[in-house]
Structure 1
């Protein structure tokens, strides 16, 4: 992508308060992944108002506008996320709270249908900070919001296993009905384990004999949803090991969750 284009630089900070989460967005100049000192000060002022102590976790997602190659924008979005992560840590925010740092590349547009293309592109060059309270839904709510965390209580696993049980598939079938109702909802599938030693953050999958049990649980849910007609472009998956116990017993910690990333 060519640099040196004559554009006006905008730095926007926005906040959307949901029932249990807060989303704050930092917007970047074309081709840039860093902020100058004045902009950093603006961001710190904004973050001070968020009262980080109220939140249990912070997720960072980076985006680019639709110009440039996929490879270029993937790298740029990751650099934007890394910059914000390092800035948070350097300012004393979010110690031990940042659990997701993900660059998601370009936001694809149909330029023929966008009314204000420049404004839309300005707002697509951003990093979203999703501040999450430790509150969960047990199914997709009627009016889902970015940052909603859905614990599928019947989608649990046998010790050391990533295979879906019949009850788990029935619960996923009910979830699929809701996912087809909310057709634009995008989400991450989060896999979890229980009962590991202190030195090991993930469990061994007895089906593969590899220490990636939480990821395999999330992947198997991903594959099942895809086989039942849910587009793979709407979802991603990741294993979180033993980082997020619910405190409801080992069985409930051998679980998956759906985390809403986009509406």
Structure 2
């Protein structure tokens, strides 16, 4: 079905089956700005959104396959920033925007795609992924091999970190190698990597990474696991990552709070 001009310029849709809504905004070729009409639609969307129930939002920008990688990474970044700025101007709290990433161009095989024009229209976009508070983690599992459903958490005791560090231990790497093998077998699983910290006063939301000196330790732990799994051939399109700081202690001892967990987002 061909896209109308209105859908080309701006279209929102919600995927509710995953309990993780995805909003998509389409852009014109080689543009990262929005018309006044588009801005009004986004503003109305924000007004109708119960932001008190939103835990976080992730913004990902994309381009079609034309142009160089470097140019498209810059353009996709600008598209993501455009949407971020518009959300903030319309009252959305910036600290809830936890990922802002331009992912560059989406490669297509031009000789095999049935409708190349329409495909390119759909690839010039920004995706917004919302995580609601009521879905911020449910049942906990200790293996990816168990029967999982969307909203489940996977917690592996061997993926722990030293105090103040986001570097993987040898034990954690061995565990992640096993995780990667399982994920390569079960290609349908998509997930969010969530980093945690211990031993941080309640007045602070996160710990300090002793290497970077930033108070983003939980984020850095999640990001480290994200990149390690990419190195093991797990597609980054299956993963996102989030720093949870000190919000969710297990109350089993400090070392168990220096961890990452995996939240299942799609099966």
TM-score range, shorter chain: 0.7 to 0.9
Could you tell me whether the CA contact under 8 Å between 1:78 and 1:102 is conserved in 2?
Answer: yes
The answer as to 2:263 corresponding to 1:255 is no
Which residue of structure 2 lines up, in the alignment, with residue 75 of structure 1? 74
Report the CA distance shift for 1:178/1:46 in structure 2 as closer, same or farther (over 3 A): farther
Change beyond 3 A, Cα 1:234–1:123: closer
Which residue of the partner structure matches residue 24 of structure 2?
25
Task: Provide the residue aligned with 1:123 in structure 2.
Answer: 122
Q: Secondary structure at the match of 1:21?
A: coil
Note closer, same or farther for the CA distance 1:77–1:258 as it changes in structure 2 (3 Å cut). Answer: farther
Residue deviations 1:147-206, cap 9 Å, x none? x7855342222433434363x45643442233112447676655432323556943244x
Q: Which runs of 5+ in 1 are unaligned?
A: 1-7
- Taking the TM superposition and a 5 Å limit, the aligned residue runs for 1:222-261 are 222=226, 225=229, 229-231=232-234, 240=243, 242=245, 245-249=247-251, 250-258=254-262
2:198 maps to what in 1? 194
**What TM-score do the two structures reach when normalised by structure 2?**
0.74
Instruction: Measure, in 2, the Cα distance between the counterparts of 1:19 and 1:69.
Output: 34
Contact 1:189 1:236 in 2 (8 A): yes
Within 2, Cα distance between the matches of 1:235 and 1:224?
Answer: 14
Gaps of 5+ in 2: none
Name the residue aligned to 1:160: 164
What do you get for the CA RMSD once the two structures are aligned? Answer: 3.7
Q: Note the C-alpha offset of 1:55.
A: 1.6
| Alignment coverage as a number of residue pairs | 250
Q: 1:49 to 1:171 in 2, by over 3 A?
A: farther
The 8 Å contact of residues 176 and 229 in structure 2, kept in 1 or not, is answered as yes
- Length-normalised TM-score, structure 1: 0.75
